[in-house]
Amino acid sequence: MQDETFFESIKKNLNGEAGQPIVLGVCKTLAARFEQEVWLIRLVAIVLGVFYTFTALVAYILLGLFMNETTERSKSVFQGLGLWFQEFTEKAHQKYNGFLNRNGSTQ
């Protein structure tokens, strides 16, 4: 069994699962367009995210929404987040109303 070097381990983790995007597929799509390794594009995205967090996040989301290869996946991710947020607020509202009803009835 051969030991992995630190660099090989990082490269392997940044490549992700074969054929699967890690989040929206932006880095994989950009790597294909620029004929680069996926791990290299992801590393650049991470470094940019560390130093320019808001800008990098906005750019990532916009690229995800407007690149033809990633549009459908991005829309479904945001629809899923919207449903989760809606359910979360409904549950919070129910708990808040339950708390108010309990406190209101004991006085």
As averages over each run of 10 residues, the pLDDT of the chain (107 residues) reads 68 64 84 92 94 96 91 86 91 88 63
Q: Cα dihedral sign for 61, 85, 72, 25?
A: positive
Res 52: pLDDT: 97
For residue 107, the tally of other CB atoms under 10 A from its CB is 4
- pTM summary value: 0.66
Distance CA 64, CA 69 (A): 8
Res 106: pLDDT: 47
24 neighbors 77 (Cβ within 8 angstroms): yes
Res 43: pLDDT: 93
Res 38: pLDDT: 87
